[in-house]
Amino acid sequence: MLGLADCCRLVLGGSGSLRVAASEGSQSGAGTEEKGAKPQRIPKKLPPMPPGMDPNLELVRVEDLKGDAVSGVGFVKNDANSTDVGRVALLVAGDVAAFLIFAAIGRANHGEGNAVAEVVGTALPFILGWLATSPLTGAYSEDAQKTQDPLNAWLITGKSWIAGVPVGLVLRGVAKGRVPPKPFIIVAMVATLVLLGGWRSFLASKTIDPRLNPKAAAAAKENQGNKKGNVFEMFELIGSLTKRW
């Protein structure tokens, strides 16, 4: 018969729950199921948590379920809702800010007014186009919320940008009553891609896996802090592009 330590294993449930299960006499599940058998004694001393795992896991007891003897212990952390409302709100706020910055820089380079209402009016068609297409492009999908890879953040942004910004240009053309000039279309496409992709990749580079315990999270954050780069370089690029409008 296998010992308790030999039967500890990680199981990722279908609902996204993380389980660390232990049982005696089982190599394939989180417990032992024997018809009519007596439940095994659950040891008082629990196996140690694997390094780097979230310490705030709930201990559950599994035994004697509907006539079947089941024994074992497990740590369960439920995470059925894959949508992080706070994370989505942060992404939306950052995207809207990127379009507002684009509009403000463009208006400033043309000597136009930069009152809040004027900047919002210039950015609004792009914001509406971006948000309207986001359910189809995955701009706020689970992958977009949780990615820690700057390159992946660029790819997600690119898929959303290729649909959202052209829709914004169409809405702007309808509002103005004319087709936007070609130079404006080119600059708008390039500038919005740089702003959106730049800020989202920066966010991804600062994202820490929430399942890490405080010590592991601190180590990951320190490692990210060693990465060199200047996020403000993209604003210099946007400024040089918009001068050509």
Q: Are 241 and 190 in contact (CB under 8 A)?
A: yes
pLDDT in tens, the chain (245 residues): 444 444 444 434 444 444 444 443 444 444 444 455 554 555 555 566 566 555 555 545 454 445 554 445 444 444 544 568 999 999 999 999 999 999 999 999 888 888 999 999 999 999 999 999 999 999 999 999 989 999 999 999 999 999 999 999 999 999 999 999 999 999 999 999 999 999 999 999 988 766 555 565 566 556 655 554 444 455 555 555 555 55
Best CA proximity match to 70, nearest among 32, 102, 106: 32
- Cα 125 to Cα 38: distance, rounded to the nearest angstrom: 68
CA distances from 154 to 54, 200, 229 (A): 29, 7, 16
- List Cβ neighbours of 241 (8 Å cut-off, separation of 6 or more): 187, 190, 191
Best CA proximity match to 144, nearest among 120, 161, 167: 161
Best CA proximity match to 101, nearest among 212, 232, 225: 232
